[in-house]
Amino acid sequence: MKWITALLAAGAALAGVSCLTGNRQLSVEEETVYCRSLPENFEGLRIVLIADLHKKKFGKGQCCLIDSVRAAHPDIIVFAGDLYSRSDKDPSDKVKLMKELGDIAPVYYSAGNHEINDPDLFEALCHKLKSIGINVLRNRLAVLTRGRQRLNIYGLQLPLKYYVNKDGSYRDLPEATYDDMLKYLGRIDKQQCNLLIAHDPLFFEAYEQWGADLVMSGHVHGGVIRLPFIGGLFSPERKLFPKYSKGLYRIGNSTMAVTTGLGKFRFNNPSQIMVLNLTSRKKPEKHFRGRPWEL
């Protein structure tokens, strides 16, 4: 029995060390993303996707995070929500961070559920972010142009009811639908290339039906705990094995990139900066973590 106790103690100690070191890691992972309607002038567009910073700090003044983003040489930076936590009352340090990121490349930001939990604080934040040149997309469109060609970037801000009930529970939450997408973002021109920043990846089917060529999400934190050969264990909605938790997924002509995010507790699941290289040249012969390419 003593050796069993010793073995369990050693395992617990190893898990503790792994958890401690893992929560200090910041990984940078690159993916090539096929967009069949990507305009020629945007071939090779390099996007840094980050999300879910919450209260996490990566060095003094977020210097490690900023240096890592700068080293990725992005054309644009997408922040897919949860810049701070709902318990934060003074996100001024996050404004400074976004200013630093904006000095590297244009930043496109769409809120997560934590920001909209306090509407007054979020309104003040948006005003500050806009004043420093951040593209705040609250159910609206931003257009990138290169020559005579354009690329559309939409930011979806769903109401809080899609994330949590008024009593704080997560039972029987509504699912966003195609009609909801029309309500909040309107119809899109499917002859254009349309990128969508949508904090919650769990509504990918609705995003695809609406017509997004590329969806960029976070929210699930990689499933918090990642298990070998299985993937993420939990979603923020307290459900097991979320369908979309990390990496690239494909439905029809839509691709979704889900970053594991930066903050919150995690195990076997490092904080992540995701680098997306867009191309229309060739569809890679590979399978996705969620669904295979539909050839």
Walk me through the domains of the chain, giving residue ranges and CATH numbers: 27-279 (3.60.21)
pLDDT at 17: 40
SS3 126: helix
CA distance 117 to 219: 14
Tens digits of per-residue pLDDT, 236-252?
988 899 999 999 999 99
pLDDT tier at 279 (50, 70, 90 boundaries)?
A: very high
pLDDT at 153: 98
The reported pLDDT for the residue numbered 220 is 96
Cβ contact 202:243 at 8 Å: yes
Q: Which two tokens stand for residue 245?
A: 């938790």
Q: pLDDT, tens digit, for every residue of 84-112?
A: 999 998 989 999 999 999 999 999 999 99
pLDDT tens digits for range 37-66: 999 999 999 999 999 999 999 999 999 999
Give the up-direction half-sphere exposure of residue 213: CA atoms within 13 A in the CB hemisphere: 21
Closest CA to 84 of 121, 59, 48, 131: 121
Helix (H, G, I), strand (E, B) or coil at 59: coil
Distance CA 32, CA 291 (A): 16
